[in-house]
Chain A
């Protein structure tokens, strides 16, 4: 299904963030995810942000119920992480990333 032509070999995380419109909650989810990606998955993530208001067919394709939902296609198993991703520890665990004891700005 996924065209595995472009992505460089070091891609470990294929992520789709499904949001519904540009609400505050959507923007917060995007910010949270982008921050984690840049900090922990620099160059290793294939991230796509989909607004189901614009492309409603993707809601079904990715089997989304809640919004925002982060669909983790890779690494397997497929997981759906719902919410604005504000709980970073849970997000990291869901992304199969180790939770570092003192991460971020402190």
Chain B
């Protein structure tokens, strides 16, 4: 019973689902472009001009095969001596001698020296076959490298024989099922000097080392890959102390998990401007502003806040050294050096002109994968020089990569002018989830810093322009002065506030005065009313008195009339 599931298990782990079997090179990024690796059991051609890294590619393929995939290999060098080769790749971290001693690798240097070779009559290259076969058998090799087999053409004059023998050699490699890498020097108008691509047509990879504006960029292109899909673009790659690294371009899709978690900006006032209290984790933030607006300082706050949460941060500095940044932000009360010592923060400082754009990208990519930060700051992206379209594409890939890795990215950008229509910012804004503009306001003989949020996707945010100050304890957003004269900053804000205060005082005084006045008038009127009322009373009293007098008069009259009548009547 047990063997059966074991068999099916091993069968499924093999990529034998009718697809072309492939042998991984172990060079991250490269395998992804090749969708798995080089064709197993077939020769592949790696060609390029001198100094492109052909030999290193080949050695890495072998060393990784021996160390990572358990496939011993044979390196047959037609150019470098074994000792030189070992010394050359030792600087890149490959221990060839160790692998040779462990029986995982065989290195054979084939010396082709025209002056030592005399041709008399017919021959073939059976010696080479025997040597190769012997080396392959001695380590049980699955992978072989023929480093610049075209050197044979310099040692032998009969190219007809050579071509026939090369054809036979590649057939032999296929028969033996060896995964082979053949390197070839780039020739005029064709991929290799002697047209090796005619013989090796399964997989052809072209390396290139281009200098544009005095900056070298190594690039790689898969010219053909019979029987397999592959990435078709030119891809940059990097050779440094840790070997070859390439930037995989798998992140071309916009399909990734998103986080609802919010991370603080590290500046209380800025958090308050964002209704969520910060940025979404994994989002991209653009900080743009003219010189001296505190881009690096704000980014440092963001980093400090992340370190306080115990998260790792990575700071790619292109204008200042790590020491300079640490010293400078200490003036606003941030101790980044401590974060570095704690292993939470890593600075990677490099001059933008040190490499080409893609090289920077590849380097950042590698560093991020290595350090695994949750926050990455790139300060500033405007340092990258080159055609706008290329800069844009590079940053797009960087943003894409960071997003797919769930890393929150903060990018600063130096603006030359204060106008909104600044090329790079405009082109980049679509990539960014949040955009903070930092500005200088010059008025009344002073300069004040203000910021505002241009956008913050997925979060309502303040529409206010806020003034901020750099204090000993960090960046501080100041409550805005908003009044009838608009938003004021700096001394203008202070003097306007003083003016306001005076005006208010004046108004208060006026009001008191008015109140007193009205009181006085009320009292006067009341006095008048009282006088009138007294007059009225007096009038009424007089009227009453007259009335009584009249009545009394009436009575007297009637009594008189009666008296008169009586007197008259008495007379009649």
Name the residue in A28, A59, A84, A88 with the highest tally of chain B Cβ atoms < 10 Å from its Cβ. A59
Stretch at the interface among A3-11, A41-49, A64-72, A98-106: A64-72
A93: nearest residue on chain B (CB-CB)?
B118
Q: Are A83 and B119 in contact (CB under 8 A)?
A: yes
- Interface check B383, CB cutoff 8 A: no
The 8 Å CB contact of B117, one of A60, A68, A80, is A80
Q: Are A82 and B128 in contact (CB under 8 A)?
A: no
Q: Are B120 and A81 in contact (CB under 8 A)?
A: yes
Q: Are A83 and B126 in contact (CB under 8 A)?
A: no
- What separation, in Å, do the CA atoms of A18 and B124 have in the docked complex? 12
- Interface check A17, CB cutoff 8 A: no
Name the residue in B120, B121, B152 with the highest tally of chain A Cβ atoms < 10 Å from its Cβ. B120
Q: Which B residues from 130 to 151 make CB contacts under 8 A with A?
A: 130-131, 133-135
- Interface check A86, CB cutoff 8 A: yes
- Interface check A20, CB cutoff 8 A: yes
Q: Are B121 and A85 in contact (CB under 8 A)?
A: yes
B496 to chain A, nearest CB (A): 91
Q: Are A18 and B120 in contact (CB under 8 A)?
A: no
B128: nearest residue on chain A (CB-CB)?
A65
- Interface check A39, CB cutoff 8 A: no
A61: nearest residue on chain B (CB-CB)?
B131
The 8 Å CB contact of B120, one of A65, A67, A77, A91, is A91
Stretch at the interface among B62-70, B105-113, B485-493: B105-113
Query: Interface size on B (CB < 8 Å)?
Result: 26
Residues on the A chain within 8 Å of B116, using CB: 77-80
A104 to chain B, nearest CB (A): 15
Q: Are A84 and B133 in contact (CB under 8 A)?
A: no
A26 to chain B, nearest CB (A): 9
A85 to chain B, nearest CB (A): 5
B112: nearest residue on chain A (CB-CB)?
A65
Q: Are B152 and A65 in contact (CB under 8 A)?
A: yes
Q: Are B130 and A52 in contact (CB under 8 A)?
A: yes
Q: Are B120 and A85 in contact (CB under 8 A)?
A: yes
B338 to chain A, nearest CB (A): 59
- What separation, in Å, do the CA atoms of A20 and B133 have in the docked complex? 13
The 8 Å CB contact of B127, one of A20, A25, A83, is A20
Q: Are A67 and B118 in contact (CB under 8 A)?
A: no
Residues on the B chain within 8 Å of A28, using CB: 121
Residues on the B chain within 8 Å of A87, using CB: 120-121
B130 to chain A, nearest CB (A): 4
Q: Are A18 and B127 in contact (CB under 8 A)?
A: yes
- Interface check A40, CB cutoff 8 A: no
Residues on the A chain within 8 Å of B111, using CB: 63
- What separation, in Å, do the CA atoms of A56 and B132 have in the docked complex? 10
- What separation, in Å, do the CA atoms of A64 and B132 have in the docked complex? 11
B113: nearest residue on chain A (CB-CB)?
A80
- Interface check A27, CB cutoff 8 A: no
The 8 Å CB contact of B131, one of A21, A59, A77, A82, is A59
Residues on the A chain within 8 Å of B130, using CB: 20, 52-53, 56, 59, 64, 67
Residues on the B chain within 8 Å of A84, using CB: 120-123
- What separation, in Å, do the CA atoms of A32 and B123 have in the docked complex? 14
Residues on the B chain within 8 Å of A79, using CB: 116-118
A84: nearest residue on chain B (CB-CB)?
B121
- Interface check A90, CB cutoff 8 A: yes
Q: Are A66 and B121 in contact (CB under 8 A)?
A: no
Q: Are B125 and A66 in contact (CB under 8 A)?
A: yes
A82: nearest residue on chain B (CB-CB)?
B123
- What separation, in Å, do the CA atoms of A64 and B116 have in the docked complex? 12
- What separation, in Å, do the CA atoms of A83 and B157 have in the docked complex? 12
A37 to chain B, nearest CB (A): 15
- Interface check B352, CB cutoff 8 A: no
A27 to chain B, nearest CB (A): 12
Residues on the A chain within 8 Å of B121, using CB: 28-29, 32, 83-87
- What separation, in Å, do the CA atoms of A67 and B132 have in the docked complex? 14
- Interface check B21, CB cutoff 8 A: no
Q: Which B residues from 420 to 479 make CB contacts under 8 A with A?
A: none
Residues on the A chain within 8 Å of B127, using CB: 18, 20, 52, 59, 64-67, 69
Residues on the B chain within 8 Å of A97, using CB: none
Residues on the A chain within 8 Å of B134, using CB: 56-57, 59-60
Residues on the B chain within 8 Å of A60, using CB: 108, 131, 134-135
- What separation, in Å, do the CA atoms of A35 and B123 have in the docked complex? 19
The 8 Å CB contact of A86, one of B120, B126, B152, is B120
Q: Are A20 and B126 in contact (CB under 8 A)?
A: yes
Q: Are B120 and A69 in contact (CB under 8 A)?
A: no
Question: Known contacts A52-B127, A53-B130; is A90 also within 8 Å of B152 by CB?
Answer: no
A71 to chain B, nearest CB (A): 10
Residues on the A chain within 8 Å of B123, using CB: 25, 66-69, 82-84
B167 to chain A, nearest CB (A): 16
Question: Known contacts A56-B131, A59-B134; is A94 also within 8 Å of B126 by CB?
Answer: no
- What separation, in Å, do the CA atoms of A66 and B133 have in the docked complex? 14
- What separation, in Å, do the CA atoms of A67 and B126 have in the docked complex? 5
- Interface check B156, CB cutoff 8 A: yes
17 A-B residue pairs with CB within 8 Å: A20-B129, A25-B122, A25-B124, A52-B126, A56-B134, A57-B134, A63-B111, A64-B130, A65-B127, A65-B131, A66-B125, A66-B126, A66-B156, A67-B126, A80-B116, A86-B120, A91-B118
* Chain A contacts to B: CB under 8 angstroms: 18, 20-21, 25, 28-29, 32, 52-53, 56-57, 59-60, 63-69, 77-88, 90-91, 93-94
Q: List 20 extra interface pairs beyond A68-B123, A80-B117, CB under 8 A.
A: A20-B126, A20-B130, A52-B126, A53-B130, A59-B130, A60-B134, A64-B131, A65-B112, A65-B131, A67-B125, A67-B130, A79-B118, A80-B116, A81-B117, A81-B119, A82-B117, A83-B122, A84-B121, A85-B120, A94-B120
Closest 7 CB pairs of A and B: A83-B121, A64-B127, A20-B126, A86-B121, A67-B126, A56-B134, A84-B121
